[in-house]
Chain A
């Protein structure tokens, strides 16, 4: 029976003609818009991740702290909740970095000795790059012998956290609305196809087809049309990405800095195609329920 249902679905797909093409094109268009939005979101998330990786808390060490004591302190700090890793910068390395940043030695002429302190660069895990995560770190380091001062860029962390939360909320909201709109468009397109084939459904029911036999080929068709729509959308997105990114490189550089805009990876493309298939399947199910077939 399964083979017959699959054959029926194949016959349906083969004979669907223009309506099937319209359904695939509609799904592809809807998924193209959804995919374009998702592409913006993944690039912004990538940008935020890069930005977050650069966020660090600097603990300046007391003058005269021995190298081995500084290293032990670094190990202790690494055990604090939320800390990903700690980078120890000795006095000499700090001076070298300053020289490199200042662009030469002129500024340092006349200085006796090295006035720069040793420090620990403390990097938080992504989920702890929040005001709360920062507060935990601060409380843990407070009063720790060997630490002179903490510099943590509270306003930067706050801004990062707000931006990440905003992107998440806007992403979910817009993604949800777009997905719902896509589902309804797909359901309506498939329902139009069903109306066009109402006679076929009547005939199947007339000769004693079960609900399973009548409905399953339409669900399979919806799934296949959705997957095809997803493939077309992925191809169009790749084409648009390839054509537009070089044209917009200066504008994108303004937003993304040195980070190169990226296209979907293989897993994300698979999810887009399967998302299309799911929408096609859901749309067909919705159309069948609405059509009371």
Chain B
């Protein structure tokens, strides 16, 4: 499947997509790391504003590749990807940071700054955009309160449990009030109870208008929430299921 469309001028400042535009759109996207082997093949999808979508499939199905394409860590071989109106395939290197400031990312292994405090870990998202110190501290405190970690803000991540560390990562992704939140197996290292905690934090973000895509192979989560599910198999979208509304 292919689509032709006029993408936003890549050098213009980021603008919010029009209400009718889905913040995440992919058209006929393929990506290969080795000749003859496709990590993704002819994938098309749209995820609307405030929508919460599960991306599932077996290991190696292409979930991580799809997410990496959405935050411009990888470029597609063919096809078009529009994130917040920006065409990832044609995004200049200098425009990537501006995009990422509006796309929060959470990983299975948390990716925290181990020698920085909880507060510094969350605040780094605001530091990179030059948020004044007082405002940054206030926003970090409020976000940490949302994830229930405001009492631990001066601790180092190593002093916290796995679930708490993932909540730091979620707070870091959310403190900048992103338009899109991507999570790659965010509950992969957590038990069932903590997994639910993390997913519900992200659902709350979706309720506030953030578009959320969560890659997981945890069937219990898919069944529990009945949200829209995109199933990847061998690099293809094999099926979509569930509620597609926001």
CB of A204 to closest CB in B, whole Å:
7
A199 touches B (CB below 8 Å): yes
Segment with Cβ contacts to B, from A48-56, A119-127, A167-175, A206-214: A206-214
Among the interface residues B94, B112, B130, which one has the most CB atoms of the partner chain A within 10 A? B130
Contact-residue size bin, chain A (C-beta under 8 Å from the other chain): 20 to 34
Q: Which residues of B contact A148 (CB under 8 A)?
A: none
Rounded to whole angstroms, the CA-CA distance of A202 and B110 in the bound complex is 12
Residue of A3, A15, A202, A213 touching B128 (CB-CB under 8 A): A213
Rounded to whole angstroms, the CA-CA distance of A199 and B109 in the bound complex is 11
Residue of B100, B127, B129 touching A206 (CB-CB under 8 A): B100
A79 touches B (CB below 8 Å): no
List which A188-232 residues lie within 8 A (CB) of chain B.
Answer: 199-200, 202-211, 213
In the complex the two chains form, is A11's CB within 8 Å of B116's CB?
yes
Per-residue 0/1 for B96-133: is the Cβ within 8 Å of any A Cβ (1 yes, 0 no)?
01111110010000011111100010001101111001
In the complex the two chains form, is A206's CB within 8 Å of B105's CB?
yes
In the complex the two chains form, is B101's CB within 8 Å of A208's CB?
yes
Rounded to whole angstroms, the CA-CA distance of A200 and B128 in the bound complex is 13
List which B142-184 residues lie within 8 A (CB) of chain A.
Answer: 172, 176
A17 touches B (CB below 8 Å): yes
CB of B142 to closest CB in A, whole Å:
18
A210-B128 contact in complex given A202-B111, A203-B111, C-beta closer than 8 Å: yes
Q: Which residues of B contact A1 (CB under 8 A)?
A: 130
A100 touches B (CB below 8 Å): no
Rounded to whole angstroms, the CA-CA distance of A7 and B172 in the bound complex is 18
In the complex the two chains form, is B97's CB within 8 Å of A210's CB?
yes
A208-B120 contact in complex given A15-B115, A200-B113, A202-B111, C-beta closer than 8 Å: no
A204-B111 contact in complex given A4-B130, A11-B116, A209-B97, C-beta closer than 8 Å: no
Nearest opposing residue in chain B for A207, CB measure: B125
Per-residue 0/1 for A108-123: is the Cβ within 8 Å of any B Cβ (1 yes, 0 no)?
0000000000000000
CB of A255 to closest CB in B, whole Å:
51
Q: Which residues of B contact A3 (CB under 8 A)?
A: 133
In the complex the two chains form, is B111's CB within 8 Å of A199's CB?
yes
Per-residue 0/1 for A1-41: is the Cβ within 8 Å of any B Cβ (1 yes, 0 no)?
10110011001000101000000000000000000000000
Nearest opposing residue in chain A for B121, CB measure: A203
In the complex the two chains form, is A207's CB within 8 Å of B101's CB?
yes
Residue of A11, A208, A209 touching B99 (CB-CB under 8 A): A208
CB of B130 to closest CB in A, whole Å:
4
In the complex the two chains form, is B98's CB within 8 Å of A208's CB?
yes
CB of B98 to closest CB in A, whole Å:
7
Q: Which residues of A contact B112 (CB under 8 A)?
A: 203
Residue of B102, B111, B113, B128 touching A209 (CB-CB under 8 A): B128
Q: Which residues of A contact B129 (CB under 8 A)?
A: 208
Q: Which residues of B contact A211 (CB under 8 A)?
A: 94, 97
Rounded to whole angstroms, the CA-CA distance of A209 and B102 in the bound complex is 12
In the complex the two chains form, is A15's CB within 8 Å of B116's CB?
yes
In the complex the two chains form, is B111's CB within 8 Å of A206's CB?
yes
A207-B116 contact in complex given A8-B127, A199-B111, A213-B128, C-beta closer than 8 Å: no
Residue of A8, A11, A207 touching B100 (CB-CB under 8 A): A207
Q: Which residues of A contact B115 (CB under 8 A)?
A: 15, 17
CB of A35 to closest CB in B, whole Å:
33
In the complex the two chains form, is B120's CB within 8 Å of A11's CB?
yes
Nearest opposing residue in chain B for A16, CB measure: B115
Q: Which residues of A contact B133 (CB under 8 A)?
A: 3-4
Rounded to whole angstroms, the CA-CA distance of A4 and B105 in the bound complex is 22
Q: Which residues of B contact A202 (CB under 8 A)?
A: 111
Q: Which residues of B contact A210 (CB under 8 A)?
A: 94, 97, 128
In the complex the two chains form, is B113's CB within 8 Å of A203's CB?
yes
Residue of B94, B120, B176 touching A207 (CB-CB under 8 A): B176
CB of A44 to closest CB in B, whole Å:
47
Q: Which residues of A contact B127 (CB under 8 A)?
A: 4, 7-8, 213
CB of B184 to closest CB in A, whole Å:
11
Per-residue 0/1 for A239-277: is the Cβ within 8 Å of any B Cβ (1 yes, 0 no)?
000000000000000000000000000000000000000
Chain A residues near B (Cβ < 8 Å):
1, 3-4, 7-8, 11, 15, 17, 199-200, 202-211, 213
Name 6 extra pairs, CB < 8 A, besides A206-B111, A213-B128.
A4-B130, A199-B111, A199-B113, A207-B125, A209-B97, A209-B128
The 10 residue pairs across chains A and B that have the minimum distance between CB atoms: A208-B101, A15-B115, A208-B100, A209-B128, A1-B130, A208-B97, A207-B125, A4-B127, A210-B97, A213-B128
What are 19 A-B pairs with beta-carbon distances under 8 A? Answer: A3-B133, A15-B116, A199-B113, A200-B113, A203-B124, A204-B124, A204-B128, A205-B100, A206-B100, A207-B101, A207-B125, A208-B97, A208-B101, A208-B128, A208-B176, A210-B97, A210-B128, A211-B94, A213-B127
